[in-house]
Amino acid sequence: MDSFANKVVIVTGAGQGIGKAIVQAFSHHEAHAIIAEKDEEAGLETQQWLNDKGSKATFIPCDVSREDAIKSLIQKVAEQEGRIDFLVNNAGVSRFKPISELSVEEFDEVLSINLRSAFIFSKYAAPYLKKTGKSAIVNIASTRALMSEPDSEAYAASKGGILALTHALANSLSPQVRVNAISPGWIEVRDWKKASEREEVIHREIDKTQHLVGRVGTPEDIGRAAVFLCSGESTFMTGQNMIIDGGMTVKMIYET
């Protein structure tokens, strides 16, 4: 895999969970990772964790629901680093409620953070990404964009929108910028939260056998994929959705 030395990647929602593993993966390949995170405790903790490993990582507070905050972060990174090579739109929230109880405001909030922020980050980062000529955007969607369970309307709509946004951006920003999506399945994040909320994780055997590979996914699985989609190993890929779910969505499960 490529070295990303001297390259800059912005990862949104990078203080915990999948985002934290993504910045770790890029840092492992020598990139300067920008931790765009609203939670100051989580952002500073992740920055310190990576800096202690000798990696270059910088926490910049950002409320991704605000256009002005996103625009300010992009400008700050561009001015300080002189370049932006990669963008990973990962920030997301969920509100799983019966449709009769889900307010319009809550629905709008989920779409604002999960979908609208990916558009705004891409919009303001695009001029800098185009300058490098070999840049990439990775949008974190979900298998819930393709399949659902009850009470998931807001989250499913936001993730489905990310897939559509991905192929639209791939067309609009070509050929300088490649744009792909990752749809994670069940990824266990409880042990990747900030220290004050971290939990020990024990999975049941039925949880493991629900996946063809025999285990639940980890944030590192997604981190490695994000690095691949930004590397020279994937230069013929754009507008695509990479499903990483251990085979869960292709396994038929019958109740007996």
Question: Domains in the chain, ordered, with CATH?
Answer: 8-250 (3.40.50.720)
CB atoms within 10 A of CB 246: 22
Model pLDDT, residue 12: 98
Average pLDDT for runs of 10 along the chain of length 256: 90 98 98 98 98 97 98 98 98 96 98 98 98 95 95 97 98 98 97 92 91 96 98 97 96 74
14, 20 Cβ separation under 8 angstroms? yes
Q: Which of 63, 40, 41, 61 is nearest to 112 (CA)?
A: 63
CA 6 to chain centre: 21
**Residues 6+ away with beta carbon under 8 Å from 236:** none
Nearest of 52, 88, 75 to residue 219 by alpha carbon = 88
Instruction: Return d(Cα 123, Cα 74) in angstroms, integer.
Output: 10
Annotated active-site residue 124? The verdict is: no
Catalytic annotation, pick one of 124, 128, 155, 254:
155
The pLDDT, as a whole number, for residue 253 is: 79
pTM above 0.85, yes or no: yes
**In the Cβ-directed half-sphere of 242, how many Cα atoms lie within 13 Å?**
21
> What's the confidence (pLDDT) of residue 255?
63
Q: How many helices (H) and strands (E) does the chain have?
A: 8, 7
